[in-house]
């Protein structure tokens, strides 16, 4: 087991109608709040109006910045940073899913930095401070509501990059399972694929003697597999929605990473895919994850065999056969959800594999359990076709 420091400052407020208290929570950190959101469901469902009402009751001055899209854009982050600095805003409240929260985190980072916020995403600088940020979550997926991660797409450069640091964790997050019934089915499916992948990235490690987190990861996999069909069948089923919403947060709050070294190879590969073709991240993950597994499984065959047996109940004594059956079961799980499982299904051609692979390794090889170079990534794209 590796040395570790576990720190998570995020206060989770979970349950029915909890968002009605977001105003009083924001008021603890100042008088001026930036409400950051995408559009669509938060407006149609009335959630944005309820949030604004709560903030008004708390006596806060409200500024709004909507327009966040999947694979959130750096250009909107710049707009938000400018607004926060000009109006001397005290706190960012991100109302939405992972893209909105990631964008809100970037704004909060940039608001306390004299340089270009993109510096953090390319490893040029490390933040010393961040504006307070809270969230009202609308979809279980990215886990950004309590994670150390933020992912932004530089729309001018065509690059999608993540920045991981404990400073990024929101101060508080409101999780109301009733809200998530209002998002489109495609996003619900993508969210399940994304949360599943966050467990995969931590489970497949070369670090040994991590039995507690091995079992926690396996239990989290099984919970997703069990509850996802119930949630997709009826998103208004409060019990199923509650299980999925809390699982998504748990999958990415870093508890599963303690003592381990996470891989993140699949995410790096998918980020270039969604940067180039603007595919929804979770759906890109559903395509790339089984391909990555198939490419690397021999590097840790016992762990892949254990995954197959303990997660999918595969009864096969031969480790290699078990591992391959586990990979196929993972692919079928995504497929049965309604997610694409090949690049050809979403009409992505082969002509940019080399370009995407090159961009993925600009800062060096990606992954940890297996270090992936440019030629490896090209082969993984080919496996995913």
Fold assignment, 184-384: Dehydroquinate synthase-like, alpha domain (1.20.1090)
End-to-end CA distance of the chain: 36
Could you give the CA distance from residue 99 to residue 150 in angstroms, rounded to a whole number?
Answer: 9
Q: Are 9 and 171 in contact (CB under 8 A)?
A: yes
**β-strands 149-154, 11-14 pairing:** unpaired
Cβ(164)–Cβ(142) below 8 Å: no
Domain ranges of the chain: 11-179, 184-384
Contact 288, 266 (CB under 8 A): yes
Contact of 202 with 368, CB cutoff 8 Å? no
One digit per residue, pLDDT tens: the chain, 385 residues? 999 999 999 999 999 999 999 999 999 999 999 999 998 789 988 999 999 999 999 999 999 999 999 899 999 999 999 999 999 999 999 999 999 999 999 999 999 999 999 999 999 999 999 999 999 999 998 999 999 999 999 999 989 999 999 999 999 999 999 998 888 899 999 999 999 999 999 999 999 999 999 999 999 999 999 999 999 999 999 999 999 999 999 999 999 999 999 999 999 999 999 999 999 999 999 999 999 999 999 999 999 999 999 999 999 999 999 999 999 999 999 999 999 999 999 999 999 999 999 999 998 999 999 999 999 999 999 999 9
Supply the pLDDT for residue 39: 81
Chosen CATH of 11-179 out of 3.30.565.10, 3.40.50.1970, 3.30.70.240, 3.50.50.60: 3.40.50.1970
Cα–Cα distances in angstroms (integers) from residue 144 to residues 52, 77, 79, 103, in the given order: 22, 16, 21, 10
Encoding tokens for residue 205? 């490690």
Which phi and psi (to 5°) does residue 14 adopt?
Answer: -115, 135
Which residue(s) pair with 91 in the sheet? 33
Q: What is the pTM of this model?
A: 0.93
Q: Where would I find the beta strands (DSSP E) of 89-154?
A: 91-96, 133-137, 149-154
Maximum CA extent, the chain? 65
């Amino acid at each position: 087991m590796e040395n570790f420091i576990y720190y998570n400052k995020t206060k989770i407020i979970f349950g029915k109608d909890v968002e009605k208290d977001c105003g009083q929570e924001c008021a603890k950190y100042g008088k001026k709040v930036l409400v950051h959101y995408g559009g669509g469901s938060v407006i149609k469902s009335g959630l944005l109006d309820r949030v604004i009402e709560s903030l008004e009751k708390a006596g806060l001055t409200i500024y709004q910045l909507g327009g966040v899209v999947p694979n959130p854009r750096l250009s909107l982050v710049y707009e938000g940073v400018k607004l926060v600095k000009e109006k001397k805003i005290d706190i960012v409240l991100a109302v939405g899913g992972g893209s909105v929260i990631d964008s809100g985190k970037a704004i909060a980072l940039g608001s306390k930095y004299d340089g270009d916020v993109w510096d953090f995403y390319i490893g040029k600088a490390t933040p010393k401070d961040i504006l307070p940020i809270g969230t009202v979550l609308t979809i279980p997926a990215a886990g950004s509501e309590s994670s150390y991660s933020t992912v932004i797409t530089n729309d001018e450069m065509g690059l999608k990059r993540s920045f991981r640091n404990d400073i990024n964790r929101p101060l508080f997050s409101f999780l109301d399972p009733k809200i998530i019934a209002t998002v489109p089915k495609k996003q619900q499916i993508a969210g399940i694929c994304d949360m599943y992948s966050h467990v995969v990235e931590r489970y497949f490690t070369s670090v040994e003697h991590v039995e507690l987190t091995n079992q926690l990861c396996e239990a989290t996999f099984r919970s997703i597999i069990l509850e996802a069909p119930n949630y997709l069948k009826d998103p208004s089923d409060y019990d199923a929605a509650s299980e999925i919403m809390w699982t998504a947060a748990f999958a990415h709050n870093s508890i599963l990473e303690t003592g381990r070294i996470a891989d993140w190879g699949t995410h790096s590969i998918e980020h270039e895919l969604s940067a180039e073709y603007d595919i929804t991240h979770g759906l890109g993950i559903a395509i790339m994850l089984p391909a990555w597994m198939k490419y690397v499984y021999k590097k840790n065959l016992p762990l892949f065999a254990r995954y197959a047996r303990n997660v999918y109940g595969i009864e096969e004594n031969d480790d290699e056969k078990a591992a391959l059956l586990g990979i196929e079961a993972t692919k079928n799980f995504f497929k049965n959800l309604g997610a694409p499982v090949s690049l050809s299904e979403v009409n992505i051609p082969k002509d940019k594999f080399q370009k995407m692979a090159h961009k993925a390794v600009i800062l060096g090889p990606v992954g940890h359990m297996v270090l992936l170079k440019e030629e490896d990534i090209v082969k993984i794209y080919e496996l995913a076709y």
